[in-house]
Structure 1
Amino acid sequence: MHREALVDLNAFAAVAEERSFTRASVRLGTSQSAISYAVRRLEDRLGVRLLHRTTRSVAPTEAGQLLLETLRTSFEEISEQLSFIEKLGSEPSGTIRISTPEHAFTTVLWPKLSEFMRSHPSIKLEVELNAGDVDIVDARFDVGVRLGREVPKDMVAVPLGPELRMAVVASPEYFSGRQRPMTPYELSNHLCINYRRPMTGRVVPWEFSLDNKRARLRVGGQLTFNNMMAALNAARAGHGVAYIPEDYVNADLTSGALERVLSDWCAPYSGFHLYYANRKQPSAALALLINALKLPAMPRT
C-alpha cells in the first residue's frame, strides 16, 4: 500500500468520526483543504462516494460506514502492536503463572526455564505441578502445558518438544514363566498397572495403533496409581505390566531392569505444548517466555 493511501484513509476516518472537516483538521493538525483533498482522492481511487456532504453536516455513506468500521479495527490493532513494541524497549517485568504436568516440567520445561530466569531477572515465575487438567483461565494461570492433542481448541498452542511414545514394560522377573503379549488384546492375560488422572479421577486407557489397526483398551490388574513414578516403581518391582512414557523408562531398558513389549504398536503422538488464552496480544514478559520455550522450527530439506 502506498504511503499516500494511508494518509487518505486516516483523513477519511477522522472526518467520518468527527462528522466535520473542521474538527478533523484540528484533530490531525493539518489544513481543512488538505483533509478535503485526501478524502476526494480516496473516493476517486475506490470509485465510490464515502461521505454525504451538505452545508450543515457530514456523514458516512453505507460504503463509508463499512470502511470506517474496518479501519477502526485495523487502527486499534496497529496501536496495540506499537504499544507492545514500545514495551520491548525496556526490560519486561511481572509474574507469570504456569500450570504444567510434572513429566513436562522435568523433561522439557525446566532446562529452558532455568536459562530464561538467568536472562530475565525482572520476571518472576510461579509454577504449579499438576496432571495438566486445569482450566488455566478459571484458575488464573497465564500459560499451561499439555500434550498437543489435549490442548483446548480455543487456545493458542506452541510446541515445546518433540513427539512422544508410550512404552509397555515389565520386569524380567514378571515375564519369567509368562507368555509375552504379541498384540494389545493379549494384555487381558496379564496383570496391568493402571494410571488414574489426579484431577479428573479417570483411569487412562491404553491406546495402540499399527498400520490401519487401532485399539483403545481398559486393562485390569491389582494396582492403580495416580502418580506415574509410582506405577513405574511397581513395574520395576515385578508387580505387572505398565504403560509408561518412553522417556521415563529408557534408562531401565538400557540397564535391563525393565523389558519392553508391543513396541511396534506404540505409535508416536504430539508432544508437550505451551498454550494460552486467545487474546489479541500477550504481555511483553509472556511473549519473551513463549519465544524462549517454543520448539525451534526444523530447517526445510
Structure 2
Amino acid sequence: MDRDLWSGLAVFAAIVDAGSFARAATRLGLSPSALSHAMRSLETKLGVRLLDRTTRSLAPTPAGEELLLRLKPAIDSVESALSDLDSGRDKPAGRIRVSAHRVAAIYAVLPRLADFARAYPDVTVKLTVDDGFVDIVADRFDCGVRHAMTLQGDMISVRISDPVPLVYVAAPSYLHDRAPPAHPDDLDAHRCLCYRHTSSGVVHRWEFEGGGRAFERTIRGDFTTNDVDVLRDAAVAGLGVACLPQPHAERQLADGTLVEVLAGWATTLPPNHLYYPSRRQPSAAFRVFVDAMRV
C-alpha cells in the first residue's frame, strides 16, 4: 500500500476518534495545519469527501463512516501486533502517558520516577497534570491517577498512595489581629479560600469530623480558585483560611508561613489510585510502570 495513503488513513481515524483537529494534533505530536493538509491529500487521492467540517463541529460523511467501519479493525490489529512485539522485548521500551491531579503527581508519582528511570531507561513517561476530570480513553492516556472515589466502574485500579489527610491552615499575618477558628462554626467570622473543581465548576464543600460525627459545610468563598498551588499561596499571602491536602502544606507548616487551625476537625481523602481500562492490553513497559507505582 502507498505509504502516504496508509499514513493519511491513520490520521483520518485519529481525527474522528479525537473529535477535533486540535485534539488529534496534540495526541499525534503534529500541528493542526499538518493534519488538515494530510486530510486534504487523502480525500484528493480517494476522490471522496470523508469529513464534514464547520468552525464548531466535525463528523465523518457517510462514506467516511463506511471507511471507518472497515479501517478500525485493521488499526486495532496493528496496535495489538505492536503490543505483542513490545511484550517480547528483553528490556521494556516505549512511552507511558499519564494523567494525574497535581498533588498526586507531585507526591505519589514523581518520587518513584527516578528509580524507575534507572531501572528502565528505554521507557519514557509523559505526565500531564490536570485537576479536572479526564476521560483517559478519549484523550489517549495509558492511565490516570485520581482518588478512588472518582474512578469509573469499568477501570482496573492499583493503589499508589496512603490516604491523604487534609489540613485547615492560615498565615500568621492573617491571624495577627483575630482569634483563629477552633470550631467549624467559627468560620462565619473568617475569610475563607475555596477550591473550584475544574471539570464540574462545583466549589469544594469543606468536610469535618469531630464530636463523634462527620459533616459537610458549604463555605462562602471570599477567594476561589481552581488551582491548589494558587490556593496555598493565597493562604500564605494572608488572604484567609484554606483547606489543603496536608502534603501540599507541609513545607509551609514547617517554616511557619502557615499554621494549622481547626485542629482535630480535618478529614482524610481516600488513597490515590492508578487506573486504566479493563480492556486494555498492557505492554511490557506499562506493566513495569504499574509495578513501580504500586504501594
* Shorter-normalised TM range: 0.5 to 0.7
Larger Rg: 1
Partner of 2:151: 151
Partner of 1:176: 176
Report % sequence identity: 33
Q: Is the alpha carbon distance of 1:102 and 1:269 closer, same or farther for their aligned partners in structure 2, counting shifts above 3 Å?
A: closer
> Is the 8 Å Cα contact of residues 97 and 126 (structure 2) preserved in structure 1?
yes
Higher relative contact order (CA 8 A, sep 6+): 2
> Is the 8 Å Cα contact of residues 170 and 240 (structure 2) preserved in structure 1?
yes
Partner of 1:271: 271
Partner of 1:37: none
Report SS of the residue matched to 2:158.
strand
**Scaled by the length of structure 1, what TM-score is found?**
0.65
Distance 2:166 2:276 in 1: 26
> Is the 8 Å Cα contact of residues 182 and 263 (structure 2) preserved in structure 1?
no
Distance 1:269 1:125 in 2: 26
Partner of 2:185: 185
Partner of 2:254: 254
Q: Deviations over 1:32-59 (max 9, x none)?
A: xxxxxxxxxxxxxxxxxxxxxxxxxxxx
> Is the 8 Å Cα contact of residues 207 and 267 (structure 2) preserved in structure 1?
no
After TM superposition, give the deviation of residue 124 of structure 1 in Å: 2.5
After TM superposition, give the deviation of residue 187 of structure 1 in Å: 1.3
Q: Which amino acid aligns with 2:152?
A: P
> Is the 8 Å Cα contact of residues 132 and 198 (structure 2) preserved in structure 1?
no
Distance 2:132 2:112 in 1: 19
What's the Cα RMSD here? 2.3
Partner of 2:237: 237
Distance 2:132 2:88 in 1: 31
Partner of 1:36: none
Distance 1:170 1:259 in 2: 6
Partner of 1:31: none
Report SS of the residue matched to 1:214.
strand
Q: Is the alpha carbon distance of 1:112 and 1:132 closer, same or farther for their aligned partners in structure 2, counting shifts above 3 Å?
A: farther
- Unpaired segments ≥5 residues, structure 2: 1-79
Partner of 1:52: none
After TM superposition, give the deviation of residue 292 of structure 1 in Å: 0.9
Q: How many residues matched?
A: 214
Q: Deviations over 1:172-226 (max 9, x none)?
A: 2212332322222321221100111223322111111225312211211321111
Report SS of the residue matched to 2:249.
helix
> Is the 8 Å Cα contact of residues 160 and 273 (structure 2) preserved in structure 1?
yes
